[in-house]
Structure 1
Amino acid sequence: MIIDAHGHLGSWPDFLIPEPTAAGMVELMDRVGIDMIGISHLLAVGPDAVAGNELALAAARDFPGRFGVWQVYNPHHRTPLVTEGVWGVKIHPDVHQCRLDDPRYEPVWELGLPVLSHGQTDSPWSDPSQFAEVARRHPEIPLLMGHSGLWPYGFARAARFSGEHPNLYLETCGSKATGRWIARLVELAGARKVVYGSDACFLDLRVGYGRVALAPLSDADRALVLGGNLARILELSS
């Protein structure tokens, strides 16, 4: 299976997203050969986590087996969370301006499910050092660092943190990522610690997939990054 860890549906106020729908996403996945994608709805990341989470769950019901749901948690609103029918929890410390290691995220860690968080080197809200601290506090929680820290000058540091914590994974999406950098992350952190994501429909799914598909990786390592690792984390059958 090829599983995209990091996707979205819906619109965002800062720029045009040409195809924000679930049907459009599935059509593109079929063209590229992506089996499943984990989604959070951009309405949930933005102003209304409750309504946005319902939209993501509805998309998963409409297209069985194609979408996994990352339910969004807004730490200021204490969004209700569920354990059934979802992959885990999505948090965005930078949008919500609440540090990843803030106690207001305790309901997320108490849930016990995998967590995908935006990560951004030198951000006051989501620097990779905060991921390392949360991974240390909660070693039972699989924690995916979105964008591997986002900025290339921080990739190696993010990989070092991942290598130090068995439950901390690097997720590949971002407009600054390259195939060579993805191969370098595998070299630094280990092939079992890197997870493919595209950030579609925020970014183009084809570009995100192509970076991994054409990266200078062995076939075995590429298979782990493109789905094997996430299937193991989520305990999905392949």
Structure 2
Amino acid sequence: MPLTFLIPGPLRSFAAGKSQIVIEQSPATLADALQALWKLYPGIRDRVATEQGQIREHINIFVGIEDVRYTGGLQTPIRDGAEITIIPAISGGSRVVHPQEEAPWLPARARKISDFTLDRRTLLKSFCSSLVVTQTRASQNPASESGRPFRIWDDHCHLGSVPGDTPEERMAALVKWADRLGIERLLLSQGYSAQFHPTPGQFREENDRVMRAVRRFPDRAYGSVYLSPAYPEFSVQEFDRCVRDGPMVSIGEIEADKPCSVPEMDAIVERAASMKVPILQHTWLKIGGNEPGESTPYDVVAIARRHPDVQFVCVHTGGDWERGIRIIRDMKNVSAEIAGSNPTAGIVEMAVRELGAERVIYGSDVGGRSFASQLGKVIGADIPEPAKELILGGNLRRLLTPALRAKGYRL
């Protein structure tokens, strides 16, 4: 028998607006059921699971009325005809619901609570069917203490996992979300890609998608070319097509084909130097070991030392930001980017203390992370207002200014 996923409001935009999704297969475990769901609606995956495939901490999953945390996690058995409910945790305090108190998330027939015999299945189904995201449009950009709005430029945006059938539709969704938070400009890269080792044809396809998106919204986005030291000759040609002769203004995010410290990277960096464009290099410091070819902040330091006149952005700052910040500290042509990690208190404060505000850059990694969670790292940081202005956009504008002026963009 088929099983049914009950989808909450915040995830329905990634499921074609559906509140229920029927899986016709008969998976044996929750892991199998989720894999079947990802195949139908891949955009849901990043919101529910980590890069390692584990359920995110803020996500609650119930099989029937049982919380899978107590029934085996991803190995929870799935019976025929099961209902699987996905519920994002809601932040805020908790309180006791007393008899006769109104419970507005329940249907009217169940709204008056006369005792504590409320059926958990009814609660889960009612909650999931009515849960929505409150979408409040800001009247202006997030403002500094002086009342002057910040000019926010985001250096790290992707089209992957964003709803829409075309690059233009996906970009429209990003612009809509950015408008809610007062984000002025997006630096877009990698297209839809989720490949660790793309072929030259796939690199070209993703760069074409980015250029389509940017051409549709030229006043809101810039493009950054997707290259790899695994294909140095192709990468130089693609740089010329997309940057020298095209609309793009930077390189990267370069991903995990080869460490960026390899000699093959030098030809790409020399091309960047010729037009004074920055390079955004993905980095990570994974406890269980990086993917084959995945760079660390040590690799960025190595290539930056060979090319002191080129500006590098250490994307994610290695994820393990305390180590990453210290690794790049003495390399003055390397900036720390705050995107992609959990909004942990202290990351921005440490980066400013160790590197100076002029070497810290805001990015969201949107498509995989939200604008809001990453903006919160800066807006809520205990640092001076001028430092926030640099991090939220001033530093990125400075890095991009030579290329923007060369191409005739209005600053």
Q: Normalised by the size of structure 1, how large is the TM-score?
A: 0.87
Q: Distance in 1 between matches of 2:345 and 2:154?
A: 16
Aligned to 1:14: none
Q: Distance in 2 between matches of 1:186 and 1:133?
A: 22
Q: Distance in 1 between matches of 2:347 and 2:253?
A: 25
Gaps of 5+ in 1: 12-16
| Number of residue equivalences | 228
Tell me the secondary structure at the aligned position of residue 239 of structure 2.
Answer: coil
Q: Which has the higher contact order (CA 8 A, sep 6+)?
A: 1
Match of 1:92 among 233, 251, 254: 254
Confirm or deny that 1:217 pairs with 2:377.
Answer: no
Aligned to 1:67: 221
Gaps of 5+ in 2: 1-150, 405-409
Per-residue CA distance 1:137-156 (angstroms, 9 max, x = gap): 011111000111112xxx23
Tell me the secondary structure at the aligned position of residue 178 of structure 1.
Answer: coil
Aligned to 1:121: 285
Q: Distance in 2 between matches of 1:209 and 1:81?
A: 30
Q: Distance in 1 between matches of 2:334 and 2:318?
A: 12
Tell me the secondary structure at the aligned position of residue 354 of structure 2.
Answer: helix
Cα distance change, pair 91–28 in 1 and its aligned pair in 2 (3 A): closer
Per-residue CA distance 1:166-223 (angstroms, 9 max, x = gap): 2100000123342421111111111111000000022111211122111212101100
Aligned to 1:170: 336
Tell me the secondary structure at the aligned position of residue 21 of structure 1.
Answer: helix
Match of 1:22 among 171, 174, 180: 171
Instruction: Pick the structure with more helix per residue.
Output: 1
Q: Distance in 2 between matches of 1:28 and 1:91?
A: 21
Any conservation in 2 of the 1:114–1:141 contact (CA below 8 Å)? Answer: yes
Any conservation in 2 of the 1:163–1:190 contact (CA below 8 Å)? Answer: no
Amino acid at match of 1:21: R
Tell me the secondary structure at the aligned position of residue 350 of structure 2.
Answer: helix
Match of 1:131 among 296, 300, 315: 300
The CA deviation at 1:44 is 4.9
* Superposition RMSD in Å: 2.0
Larger Rg: 2
Amino acid at match of 1:29: A
Q: Distance in 1 between matches of 2:227 and 2:266?
A: 11
Q: Mean Cα displacement is larger for which, 102-111 or 54-63?
A: 102-111
Confirm or deny that 1:37 pairs with 2:186.
Answer: yes
